[in-house]
Structure 1
Amino acid sequence: MKVVLLSYTKDPEILCGAAARSCYSEKGASEIIDEITEEKARKVVAHVRDMGHHSILEHATFTFSIEGVSRVLTHQLVRHRMASYSQQSQRYVKVSEANIVEPPKIKENKEAHEVFEKVVKEAKEAYQKLLDLGVPAEDARFILPQGIETNIVVTMNARELWHFFTLRTCFRAQWEINQVAWEMLRLVKEVAPELFRGAGPACIRGPCPEGPKNCGWWRTKEARKLREEYRQVRYK
């Protein structure tokens, strides 16, 4: 699995800060953006974000390349509709030699791993046999496992990313998309720390919404640290 932040809106926090200020100013955003400092922009972003004025987050977009993941993951990913996706085609890209994502729970169980390897080998051989028989790749792919590796390019705005992180960094999310979500969050925090301060599972910002089904992570030292950092910034 590999996650790369390919591109993002230039100076995303300054842009969002200027957009927010323009709602309450006689000046236009083109003038405000030339005057506003990074420090001031971050304060404005923090203020309006915590007020629930989340529409300003939509002005900043982030594009990722997510590589070497399963189609199990991408089927979940594309359910987030306020985004743009471009995925590797199984119609035009033959996948005979493609790797398969093997879940850790299968890999660590010797007998289960052997069953997995056997079925994957048979599926790949059957796929190649269909191609050899003249079956188009777009039809032969029907036999491929969901675990076949794929690549996908994803673009989301910051508001949708907040929603995505709330759902997918929660440890009740499926393990593969959970890992991808945490890596995406790490990458956007490097370039827009204030935009994404407090982003992550819901238990960082308040009670766990999962009730009796909660995973217990909110009790951990790491979770307490993130909650404290969020509160210190929000209420200082």
Structure 2
Amino acid sequence: MGRPESELKNHGIEKLPLSPLPQVEILGITTVPESTGNAGIASSPTVFAGESARTCYSGKEIYRPADYLNPKHRPITDQVIESTRKAGHLTPRQHFEIVFGLANVSRQLLWAFFHAHPFYNSEQVSQRYVAVKEGNFFIPPLEGQALELYLRNAQEQMAAYQQLKETLEPAVAEEYLSIFPARKGEKWQKANAGVVEKKAQEVARYVLGVDTFSYLYHTVSALTLMRYFRTCSMADVPLEAKLVVYEMVNQVAKLDPHFFNELEDPYPLNQTPEFQALASLRQPIDYRAAKAFNQEFDHKLGGINSKLVDWPVNAPQTLASAVRNVLGMDSGRLPDAEAIELVLNPAKNKVLGDVLNLTTLHKLSQALHAISYTFEKKISHTADSQDQRHRMTPAARPILSTHYSGEPDYIVPTLISQNPKALALYQEIMEKTFATINRLLELGVPAEFALYRLPNAFPIRFTESSDLLNLHHKYRMRLCFNAQEEIWQASVQETQQISQVHPQISRWLLAPCGIRWSAHNTPFCPEGEKYCGQPLWDKKTEEYPSRLI
């Protein structure tokens, strides 16, 4: 390999945020087994890439990272590392994984960048179950009146969050005890208080800004980190993305300085097709264009959260054919109806109920890959931040600034909509928040920074597609009453619409308790003490009761 860089390429960050800088640490990393003399290549992504690539053409055996220590072996490996990278043969870079601990990173950054692709794994602190503390948010490099406005609105949001929690708790308690009347006794008071508080803060979080900090485990391969570096200037929040990605790269380069040679400079923003399209057709912030788009999109939805917009006309026949292909049977021996039931009925395909989610490795279940469905959806930023964690139901999500119309635009949770006092408080903080953003933009604050003030309730309008195998898993998780209310509602709507076009398929899209009930597994609910209180296992989604919490 060539001489490694001594410092990060093209750092290019002129102004730093006023909030605490992101914290990045390596919590775990791919390494070779302990043995004498391996220390120099113990955790080297470039060595793993080179030796794995050479193994493809080895007529003898596996090449190991330790082979790189052989002076006669090393030059060829160095050539392979460079040539495979230049040629775009990138899979050797996926063998090396890094577990990062990230802190002081905004929810907006995670939504817009780190969780906007499938090749990662994260375990992130939940705003549903962990209360948000005051002063825990990203502050862009602002000054004067703009900074004063930004900070004031953040304080207003936090005050509204606390007020909403207190206002909603009585309604939550009433609904909770109507579901679990046996828990009205004194011995349940402490446990009930904890549940009520968490369910109230789950809804109250809608008023918090998307600049609220998070912390998480985030695991990626060396290849994904290379891609992060190449694309970090494309994000909705390039300053914050660069701060985090550059430090991730620096941390890895401390273990392998040659990793710098693996990097391509960040892709110039003005050369992206999005930038060029916006430059010729509209501005990123264009109130009139955004309003026209939002109205058209919402009209198509017709008042629901998720609209089925495309599906294969012959899906049942295609699915049945795929099942027969797996088993080597003709249609006379295995008709369509029996084939579909064989793969989707949990009583016959018990793999569907396995907690390890084995379907991608199970030949019969793989037939579910054969058909796909597409939905247009409108859910809040906070709900979509969870929805996008279903990495195998990918979506085309927006450049957020292009959807900003300058008008208050937000999702209202069901619990708030049915509580006049909470609704008035909610509407008031939304008016203040959008007025603050508009004023920041008038003062010349870049959209990148002004839109950090958007509330969690801001709608994300997008198109999502997936095959039936991965939708089946998603619905299994999100039709449960313990799922986040917005995603649950969208999942119910989606399965009901699939039922209208393909009832023989939709009848088997069930909550986890429904799958276990169909498979005759007990207990039907797998949640134990977290049982939602609703016996859904023998019900179709059309028969589900309404939900408040």
Q: Residue 156 of structure 1: SS of its match in structure 2?
A: strand
Tell me the equivalent position of 1:43.
338
2:496 maps to 1:186 = yes
1:63–1:154 Cα contact (<8 Å) kept: yes
Shift of 1:196: 3.1
The residue type equivalent to 1:87 in the other structure is R
Superposed counterparts of 1:7-18, under 5 Å: 7-18=310-321
Shift of 1:226: 4.4
Q: 1:180 to 1:139 in 2, by over 3 A?
A: same
Report Cα offsets for 1:26-47 as digits up to 9, x if no partner: 8xxxxx7xxx59x922211211
Q: Equivalent of 2:531, from 214, 224, 235?
A: 214
1:158–1:195 Cα contact (<8 Å) kept: no
The residue type equivalent to 2:514 in the other structure is I
Q: Distance in 1 between matches of 2:342 and 2:400?
A: 46
For structure 2, the residue ranges without an aligned partner over 5 or more in a row are: 1-303, 352-363, 517-523, 542-549
The residue type equivalent to 1:20 in the other structure is V
1:85–1:154 Cα contact (<8 Å) kept: yes
Q: Distance in 1 between matches of 2:386 and 2:442?
A: 32
- Which has the higher mean CA deviation after the structures are superposed, 130-139 or 176-185? 130-139
Report Cα offsets for 1:31-71 as digits up to 9, x if no partner: x7xxx59x92221121133334211001101000013x211
1:166–1:199 Cα contact (<8 Å) kept: yes
* Aligned length in residues: 214
Identity between Structure 1 and Structure 2 (%): 24
Q: 1:187 to 1:47 in 2, by over 3 A?
A: same
Q: Distance in 1 between matches of 2:408 and 2:371?
A: 35
TM-score, with normalisation over the residues of structure 1?
0.82
The residue type equivalent to 2:398 in the other structure is Q
Q: Residue 217 of structure 1: SS of its match in structure 2?
A: coil
Q: Distance in 1 between matches of 2:397 and 2:311?
A: 19
Q: 1:56 to 1:121 in 2, by over 3 A?
A: same
Tell me the equivalent position of 2:115.
none
Shift of 1:225: 4.5
Shift of 1:98: 4.4
Tell me the equivalent position of 2:401.
91
Tell me the equivalent position of 1:25.
328
Q: 1:216 to 1:80 in 2, by over 3 A?
A: same
Superposed counterparts of 1:1-236, under 5 Å: 1-25=304-328, 36=331, 40-49=335-344, 50-51=348-349, 52=351, 53-67=364-378, 69-206=379-516, 207-218=524-535, 223-226=537-540
Q: Distance in 2 between matches of 1:6 and 1:17?
A: 23
- Which has the higher mean CA deviation after the structures are superposed, 143-152 or 100-109? 100-109
TM-score, with normalisation over the residues of structure 2?
0.37
Write out the 4+ residue segments of structure 1 that deviate beyond 4 Å after TM superposition: none
Q: Distance in 1 between matches of 2:538 and 2:340?
A: 24
Report Cα offsets for 1:140-166 as digits up to 9, x if no partner: 110010101221111011011111111
Shift of 1:210: 0.7
For structure 1, the residue ranges without an aligned partner over 5 or more in a row are: 27-31, 228-236
Q: Residue 306 of structure 2: SS of its match in structure 1?
A: strand
CA RMSD of aligned residues (A): 2.3
Report Cα offsets for 1:145-193 as digits up to 9, x if no partner: 0101221111011011111111111111111111111000111122222
1:72–1:147 Cα contact (<8 Å) kept: yes
Question: Rg: which structure is higher?
Answer: 2
Q: 1:126 to 1:188 in 2, by over 3 A?
A: same
Shift of 1:110: 3.0
